[in-house]
A and B are shown apart, each in its own frame.
Chain A
């Protein structure tokens, strides 16, 4: 099942990301090949995207996007396609100057540090099995999400649930379980009246 641009916009709408409208306008008419070209612009837009190289600094947007996409391939069902473009577009609206964005960057940075320490490579360069293992080793599978909690709780909040919320609040994510209009998606008032397809 293919995740589309509509899914990414819907996922952003569900979480109230301020970049949603801008994203729709900025990407109007573009194709999937534009993602890379836009990436740097988005990274610099908030003034926090070029801090790479300093050990205490937040990771740059490219690192965050690469890690989040890598995690999404673990977190999303194997039948889902178009993950990279979906996550990229979702993060266009999510990696703004908000405290939430800082939380995502900080947490991904810590996970990248852990990946380098334990596996000798950043998240984006790990195998899918190792990414899965990393998430479980930090305890994100059993932790309750908490944006200000332990690393495990923050990973659950800013990485695992961030990406799962994006997927399952989107139309395609809903359709994976037979629900075209999942909670959080303004999918209208017709589908509730329709029988099974």
Chain B
């Protein structure tokens, strides 16, 4: 048991004289807490439980067995996690998140790329979407720090990546056998392959094991080789932070200029008020706007920090594009659960019509024999024959595509449905524009050409009609220098409230097409520095 928790012995009452209250213990909240805990009184409130790390193999079994759906692996669902979908596009929210200490990093894939320089200047460079009020240079040193904090295995062989000042903390994972097959085809086509940064230990790092190849990275790494935010929660607690689990924040009490308390409910049915000098809301791109909307008041009748009217607006996710098939030779898939090669060659060709996109070369194409074995009407010799027929020759490419912020894509409250505390649930109204769909087609075109060059028989295409979200919630509390156009300023502090910051991909004005967590981490470290600086002055 960590220091903070041990000292409270399961006590969920508020912490006296707290300097900082962090709401949410995913990577953003955990990094902020860790950064400030050494010299500030920090309390972290999380709606979900503290998971027992010794249960991870049991959760792995759930990930493999067919009777468990993805949300079951980390106990997501039920009244606590109820939600609505009013948009044209269905959004499977409970497949996309984990509630609990560590947040969604418990089930994430662990890919950690930096956004490209143009991603911060979309309007200027691509003619669409807003520019961020910060640019790559403002985050560059924080990116490097985030890579060290999370532990990133990577290499500097990507000519399309933004400039970096130092090597990754760990060497990249070596390319796979199937990467070598792709490489021949890509060379013929003039397509460049390069390594990909993983928040997964290629060697022992920070006291955590190197990857041992369980192959179930998403949704659970039993080895702890894949980074998750419990790393920084534990570290923050060792420094004295108090982390209170199953403490669902109901609303933020406030006056006109300051948040005064986080009101949270505990399993015993009690409500508590956690006061603090500063508040950092880090509940992700759905629960953060929901909490602000639930905190409406006479001063803020449309929701807290919502003078701009943009809280919950511009909900974005990355869209998946993919092509898969089979070869007439072994491809050695499903030994590990992560990919080792990518292609960013086409990313910065983005313009008004086609968005940025990245391409991935899968190491886990086709079915897992273990999972195949647990379904079907056969066993014995018939089963092993089916497994041999079904496994071994698959190849696939994936990719992520940028979605632009749109006014008809948003998160709001559903007044007709409530959660286990009687609060209106989040309503996801997800809309996707034509530019994203065209970009998927463009990605598919390249993916198809590579597979055809390989000689693959193409069996599936995840195109505009079969795409889905990558589970990256962005844009709902956007950053803007203009208080009328965004919720937070360039420092991620709310325009309306002097002592409230948001650390989340919710602040992204545009999404780019890179997995967002490294940028979330970099912004969180920057938020922590700003909180410390502001706390050193009269707020």
Q: A: which residues have CB within 8 A of B?
A: 13-17, 74-79, 132, 135, 141-142, 144-147, 157, 160-161, 164-165, 167-169, 174, 176-189, 191-196
B363–A192 CB distance below 8 A? yes
A159 nearest CB across to chain B (Å):
11
Tell me, yes or no, whether B222 is within 8 Å of chain A by CB.
Answer: yes
Q: How far is the CA of A75 from the CA of B383 in the complex (A)?
A: 9
Task: Give bound CA distance, A74 to B383, whole Å.
Answer: 11
Taking a contact as CB atoms under 8 Å apart, the answer to whether A195 and B332 are in contact is: yes
CB proximity to A under 8 Å, residues B208-251? 210-216, 222-223
Q: Given the known A-B contacts A142-B377, A177-B388, are A77 and B215 also in contact in the complex, defined by CB atoms under 8 Å? A: no
Name B214's contact: one of A17, A132, A183 (CB within 8 Å): A183
User: Given contacts A145-B65, A189-B173, could you give 7 more A-B pairs where the C-beta distance is less than 8 Å?
Assistant: A16-B55, A132-B380, A176-B384, A176-B388, A183-B337, A187-B335, A189-B211
A195: chain B residues at CB < 8 Å are 177, 180, 330, 332
Q: Which residues of A contact B537 (CB under 8 A)?
A: none
A16 touches B332 (CB 8 A): no
Asked if A191 and B335 make an inter-chain contact with CB atoms under 8 angstroms apart, the answer reads yes
Number of residues from B at the complex interface, CB < 8 A: 53
Among listed B56-64, B316-324, B518-526, interface-contacting one: B56-64
- Chain B residues closer than 8 Å to A165, beta-carbon distance: 61, 64-65, 370, 373-374
- Asked if residues A182 and B223 are in contact (CB atoms below 8 Å), the reply is no
Chain A residues with CB under 8 A of B160: none
B71 interface residue, CB < 8 Å from A? no
- Chain B nearest CB from A181 CB (Å) reads 5
In the A-B complex, the 10 residue pairs with the closest CB atoms: A16-B57, A192-B335, A186-B212, A77-B384, A196-B330, A183-B215, A16-B58, A168-B373, A75-B379, A177-B387
> A164 with B330: in contact, given A16-B57, A183-B216 (CB under 8 Å)?
no
Tell me whether B212 and A174 are in contact (CB under 8 A): no
**Residue B96 at the A interface, CB < 8 A?**
no
Q: Does B464 contact A (CB under 8 A)?
A: no
A contact patch SS: loop
Q: Give Cα A182–Cα B374 distance, bound, in whole angstroms.
A: 14
B134 located at the interface, meaning its Cβ lies under 8 Å from any Cβ of chain A in the complex: no
Is the beta-carbon distance between B379 and A145 smaller than 8 angstroms?
no
Q: Is the Cβ of A188 less than 8 Å from the Cβ of B369? A: no
B214 proximity list for chain A (CB < 8 A): 183-186
**Count of inter-chain pairs, beta carbons less than 8 A:** 162
Closest to B59 in A: A16
Residues of B within 8 A of A74 (CB): 379-380
Among candidates B56, B66, B173, residue contacting A16 with C-beta atoms closer than 8 Å: B56
A184 to B371, CA, bound (A): 10
Contact A193 B176 (CB under 8 A): yes
Q: Are B391 and A181 in contact (CB under 8 A)?
A: no
Q: Mark B374-398, 1 if CB is under 8 A from A, else 0.
A: 1001111101100110011000000
B340-363 CB contacts (< 8 Å) to partner A: 340, 363
Shortest Cβ distance from B180 into A: residue: A195
Enumerate chain A residues within 8 angstroms of B336, measured Cβ to Cβ.
181, 189, 192
Given contacts A13-B57, A145-B66, A146-B67, contact A160 B379 (CB under 8 A): yes
B174 within 8 Å of A by Cβ? yes
CB distance from A150 to the nearest CB of B (A): 13
Docked Cα-Cα span, A142 to B377, in Å, equals 5
| Residue B334 CB within 8 A of the other chain | yes
CA distance A145 to B380 in the complex (A): 18
B361 CB, nearest partner CB in chain A, Å: 12
Evaluate contact between B177 and A193: CB separation under 8 angstroms.
yes
14 CB-based A-B contacts, threshold 8 Å: A13-B57, A132-B380, A141-B378, A165-B370, A168-B369, A178-B330, A181-B335, A184-B61, A184-B214, A185-B213, A187-B335, A188-B213, A192-B213, A195-B177
Complex contacts, B377 vs chain A, CB 8 Å: 141-142
Question: In the bound complex, what is the Cα–Cα distance between A7 and B21 (angstroms)?
Answer: 48
